[in-house]
Amino acid sequence: MTDVRIDDLPVREELRGKSPYGAPQLDVPVRLNTNENPYPLPEPLVERIAERVREAARNLNRYPDRDAVELRTELARYLTRTGGYAVGTENVWAANGSNEVIQQLLQTFGGPGRTAIGFEPSYSMHGLIARGTGTGWISGPRNEDFTIDLAAAERAIAEHRPDVVFVTTPNNPTGNSVPPGTVLALYEAAQAAKPSMVVVDEAYVEFSHGASLLPLLEGRPHLVVSRTMSKAFGAAGLRLGYLAAHPAVVDAVQLVRLPYHLSAVTQATALAALEHTDTLLKYVEQLKAERDRLVAELRGLGYDVVESDANFVQFGRFDDAHEVWRKILDRGVLVRDNGVPGWLRVCAGTPEENDAFLDAVRELKKEQH
């Protein structure tokens, strides 16, 4: 085939020279780089998924429930039970991963001629999905310690008047949470400037020492809380994300969603997983304990560690983080270099995986002395 590269194609200007999202998928013994849950789904749940998918398979000649009503009802029940705030089916929308939720939100509230802001370093896909939807991206500031610099953030919102404001809490890759007061102040600033939509990305909230920000939805129709089953539910392969918001927001995203975007197989699998919520959340407790152990041990070794409310830990500081990443990989452990200068991120795995990681960094420390 003739040698044709992306830039030889008539791709949109803003995609030229850009790279796709690319956490390495390497075949190494210990993979602690994509914030996955290390525990496979328990066997009774696997059986239940098979059962529900078998039922769904009998109707695969038909399109699935376009509005995923049963699934949204169960997600609403889960949020009400765990989030400190009562939501109903009409408040919840689901899609293929929270990435698709974010994409639908940007297609609805962003787009050409509009902008979105995030406070970086944060989840890189917010900016990438903004680009993919033709939404201008504004990189807002953070403090040296990775907390949000509220005064600077308010200034950036007043100056740029973005249409969408992203707040990731707990934040990825740094792990720290954003205090509710800061989120409220950002919401007020965003309303004063535009008004715009504020998307609180709570992908990791089940691992937090604190509470969900769901109660902030009360009386705030421009607030959206986004969630996922990829982390706490240990179902990254399922691709199921969801949001909670005012019912008008749920109506609005339906203007852009593809018809039948959530397959019958996905809906059946997610419903089976939700039946096993309590079992799955027990793994969350183990992972939180392991996360706290990683923080303590890394600090004990003399590393700087950002306080973590997530299932991962950002540690440093390194003159050359990428070289350290490579040395840890040489010892069979894959962590993440997010391109935050001087820092790496490790995700909490099983106790054995975390031991392997800690042994690797201990060896590195010895090498330095």
Q: Among 294, 277, 291, which residue's Cα sits nearest to residue 234? A: 277
Structure token digits, residue 224: 């959206």
Residue selected from 53, 184, 236, 301 as contacting ligand PMP according to rule CB under 6 A = 236
Query: Considering the complex, what minimum distance in angstroms separates the CB of residue 269 from ligand PMP?
Result: 14
340 counts as binding ligand PMP under rule CB under 6 A: no
Name which position in 172, 177, 182, 208 contacts ligand PMP (CB under 6 A).
172
Does position 203 interact with ligand PMP (CB under 6 A)? The reply is yes
Nearest approach, Cβ of residue 368 and ligand PMP (Å): 31
Specify the residue, 35 or 196, whose C-beta has the smaller distance to ligand PMP.
35
Tokens encoding 22: 């690319």
Under rule CB under 6 A, residue 241 binds ligand PMP:
yes
Member of 104, 135, 196, 228 binding ligand PMP (CB under 6 A): 228
- With CA atoms as reference, report the closest residue to 231 among 70, 99, 89: 99
Stretch that binds ligand PMP, among 42-50, 78-86, 97-105, 357-365 (CB under 6 A): 97-105
Site for ligand PMP in 100-129 (CB under 6 A): 123
Nearest alpha-carbon partner for 290 in 349, 214, 218: 349
Which one of 108, 147, 230, 269 is in contact with ligand PMP (CB under 6 A)? 230
Q: Does 364 bind ligand PMP (CB under 6 A)?
A: no
Binding mask 11-50 for ligand PMP (x = CB under 6 A): ------------------------x---------------
CA distance linking residue 37 with residue 40, whole number of Å? 8
> According to the binding rule CB under 6 A, does residue 201 interact with ligand PMP?
yes
Strand order of the β-sheet with 136-140 is: 92-95, 241-245, 223-228, 197-201, 164-168, 115-119, 136-140
Range list of H helices, the chain: 43-57, 69-82, 97-109, 124-132, 150-160, 180-193, 247-253, 264-275, 277-300, 321-330, 351-368
Smallest separation (angstroms) from ligand PMP to the CB of 170:
8
Residue 23 Cβ, how far from ligand PMP at the closest point, in Å?
8
* Sign of the CA dihedral running 316, 325, 367, 349: positive
Site size toward ligand PMP (CB under 6 A) is: 13
Q: What 3-state DSSP class applies to 361?
A: helix
Q: How far apart are CA 106 and CA 114, in angstroms?
A: 9
Q: Cα separation of 159 and 188, whole Å?
A: 14
Residues binding ligand PMP (CB under 6 A): 35, 97-99, 123, 168, 172, 201, 203, 228, 230, 236, 241
